[in-house]
Structure formats: structure tokens, C-alpha cells
Structure 1
Amino acid sequence: MKIDSATFYKSCSELKGLPVSSLPEIVFVGRSNVGKSTLLNTLTGRKALAKTSSTPGKTQLINYFTINDRLYFVDLPGYGYAKVAKGQRYEWGRLLGGYISEREEISLVVLLIDSRHPDMESDQQMIEFLEYYQRPYGIVLTKYDKLKQKEKSRVRKALKSFSLKTKFIVNYSALSGEGKESLLEQLENYTG
């Protein structure tokens, strides 16, 4: 998949504000601070398309980006740790769960997992959620460049043990660009 254009389309705080469209949606989800926004920026070649922060919980809305005028990339709020009130975390969970379970336009969910912490319970719960709702999903291991060689094989084994229905697993480094082309090739299969 070649990305020629990527623009911010809209943000939604509620499901009723989602776009009325038949364009396919490729959704990016993961724990807070796993690197969703950074991945979107590196995939599209736009440094500031999605807002990034070292503070967990920066993405608080469902953010839509139009890609090549033929599909959306959707950046969801992170789950897990974030320095926000419990009520806000509950609302994010409700929004995220409702979106993933109900949205017909979703063609693929890309689950980002921090490669340094591949066996987090919250990631496993997300995989179970995606499989329960029969959503096709792929896994991207972020921050892969920070692992030693021995750790890399341990990470892949851990993931294969609890994600049997994943369409793909891609190792990704925003710093080196490792995995970018491989991920774009995978995404091409879900562009409609």
C-alpha cells in the first residue's frame, strides 16, 4: 500500500458522531502510550498528523484520518494506564467497546503491543474481545528496536500462545523504520 495523502478528518467523543460513510476503516488500538499516534505518523510520512505525547492518555477521542481519499485510519484512545479520573477511563472503555463491537465499516483492527511487555493481561483481554466479536485483527509489536535478540524470540512465542486468530504479526520500530513496508503490505489487503 502506498500512502499518497493523509489528512485529519474528524474527532468523535460519542458513537453518534461517527462519520456516515461506506469507506473501510482500519482501526489502531492498544494500551496507553504504546505508540499508536507515532505509528500513524511514521506510516503516513507525516510527523504531526496524529498528536503524540510521552504522557499516557493523550488520545481521548476517536480520531479519523482520510487515507488516499479511499479509506480511514482510526486512532482509538488507549486502554490501561493513564493519569485520568476513573470516570473518564470508564467513558473511554464504553466508547472503545461500543465502537469495536458495533461499527460495520471496520475492515481490520491493528492491535499495537509494546514488545517489551508482550504478555499484559489487558492486551490479552483485547484479543479475546476482538475474537468474540469476530473482528479481523493483526498485531504490531512496537518499540521492537529496544529488544535484545534473545528477547525477540521470547516475545513472538508469547504472542503466538494467546493470539491464534491473528492475521499477521509485524515487528515495528518508529526509529529505524523496521516493519513499515511489511505493515503497509498487510494493510493493503483490507482497503476495500
Structure 2
Amino acid sequence: MQVKNVELVMSAVDPKQYPTTGYPEIGLIGRSNVGKSSLTNVLINRKDYAYTSGQPGKTQTLNFYNVDDLLYFVDVPGYGYAKVSKSEREKWAEMIETYLTKRDKLKGVVSLIDGRHKPSEYDLQMRDWLDYYEIPVLYVATKVDKVSKSQRKNQENMLRTELQLEQDETLIMFSAKTKYGKDEVWKWIENQIK
């Protein structure tokens, strides 16, 4: 998909603040610093539109990006970041759970996992949680440009095994640097918002 116009329309913490335009929404979730903003920037063909930070825990609200008046990408705060207070983490968890379980415009979630490592305990918990609520999920393994080409298939097999993915569940290897996997991610998104 060739994106022409993108606008960060709002940062929300409460359902009363969500957009009311009725466009379908795709949530982007993952651990802090896994590459959600980088994936967003690649998908919308912008260099630094979604703010990327070397410092985890920067996204603290649900950020709604209007993409060509067709859909919203919703950047969700990263999970598993230890340097915020327990009460702050609980507030984020409640905000995220409310959005993911109650939002009828949500058509699916892109769950980002660091493609260089085994999934974390948090990744596995999120996988179980999304499964429990029967939310459509695309798993995207990020930063695969840091995995040698000869090792990628092994890495992909290991991630599928660790995440206990069924045959029909998709895992896409992705690199923001080389844009590897971008078209496959878009294909899944387009199918979800039909």
C-alpha cells in the first residue's frame, strides 16, 4: 500500500478520547524498544514520523495515527519496562486491556517480538492473553537484519516453537533498516480491514 497522508490525531488514555470517525484500527504492541515506532515509520513511508527513542518506556498513551483516512495505526505503550513505578505499570495495563478488549473498531493486532532472541516471559504472557480474548494477531519478528541470512530460518522456527504458533498463525521476519517483510505486513493489515 502506498501511503500518502498520515496524521497523529490523538494520544488517548481513556475510551472517551478515542476517535469517532469509525475507521478500522490495527494495534501495534510489543515490549519497550522492540521497534513499534520503526515499523510504523516503514509502513507509512516516513523517516521519523512516529517518534523512535533509544530510551524504553517513551510511549505512555495510545497514539492514533490516521493513515489516508482508511484506518488508524494505534501505537500501544510497550510492556515489560521496569523503570516505571508499579502503580504506573498497572495504569498502563488497565488502559491497554480496556482498549484491546472493548474497542469494536480494533480489527487486529501486530505483535512485535525481538527477532534476535527467544521471546521474553512478557511476550509469552501477551501471546496467551491475545489468544484468550481471540484477538486476530500477526506476529512480527523485528531487527532481523542483525540475524545472518543463513540463520533466519532457524531463528524463525525457534520463535514459532517458543510462541507455540499454530500452522495458520503468521510470523513475519521484519527489518526496519532494509524494509524486509514490509509488503507481507501490509498484506495482512489490508486483509484485516476489508
**TM-score of the superposed pair, with normalisation by structure 2:** 0.92
- Give me the identity figure in percent: 39
> How do residues 36-55 of structure 1 correspond to structure 2 at under 5 angstroms?
36-55=36-55
After superposition, residues 49-88 of structure 1 pair within 5 angstroms as 49-88=49-88
Deviations 1:122-177 (A, max 9, x none): 11111111111111000111000101345423332233221227642111111111
Counterpart position of 1:35: 35
Contact 2:61 2:76 in 1 (8 A): yes
Counterpart of 1:142 in structure 2 is 142
Letter in 1 for 2:56: P
One-letter code of the match for 2:74? Answer: V
Q: 2:192 aligns to what SS in structure 1?
A: coil
8 Å contact from structure 2 (residues 112, 141) kept in 1 = yes
Quote the offset at 1:2 in angstroms: 2.6
Whole-Å separation in 2 of the counterparts to 1:165 and 1:87: 38
1:137 touches 1:166 (CA, 8 Å); kept in 2? no
Contact 1:131 1:165 in 2 (8 A): no
Report if aligned partners of 1:115, 1:144 keep a CA contact under 8 Å in 2: yes
Query: Quick check: 1:7–1:67 contact (8 Å CA) kept in 2?
Result: yes
1:80 partner letter: G
Partner of 1:177: 179
Number of residue pairs aligned between Structure 1 and Structure 2 = 192
Hey, what does 1:18 align to over in structure 2?
Answer: 18
2:189 is matched with which residue? Answer: 187
State the distance in 2 between where 1:42 and 1:90 align: 31
Q: Which residue of 2 aligns with 1:154?
A: 154
Amino acid at match of 1:40: T
> CA distance change for structure 1 residues 40 and 111 in 2, over 3 Å: closer, same or farther?
same
Q: What secondary structure, in the 3-state scheme, does the structure 2 residue paired with 1:189 have?
A: helix
* Ranges of 4+ aligned residues in structure 1 off by more than 6 Å: none
Asked if residue 126 in structure 1 is aligned to residue 115 in structure 2, the reply is no
Cα distance in 1 between the residues matched to 2:165 and 2:20: 32
- Measure, in 1, the Cα distance between the counterparts of 2:137 and 2:26: 10
Gaps of 5+ in 1: none
Shift in alpha-carbon separation, 1:81–1:14, aligned structure 2, 3 A:
same
Structure-1-length-normalised TM-score: 0.93
**Residue 140 to residue 57, structure 1, CA distance change in 2 (3 Å):** same
SS in 1 for 2:4: coil
Give the Cα separation in 1 of the matches to 2:19 and 2:168: 27
AA of the residue aligned to 1:53: S
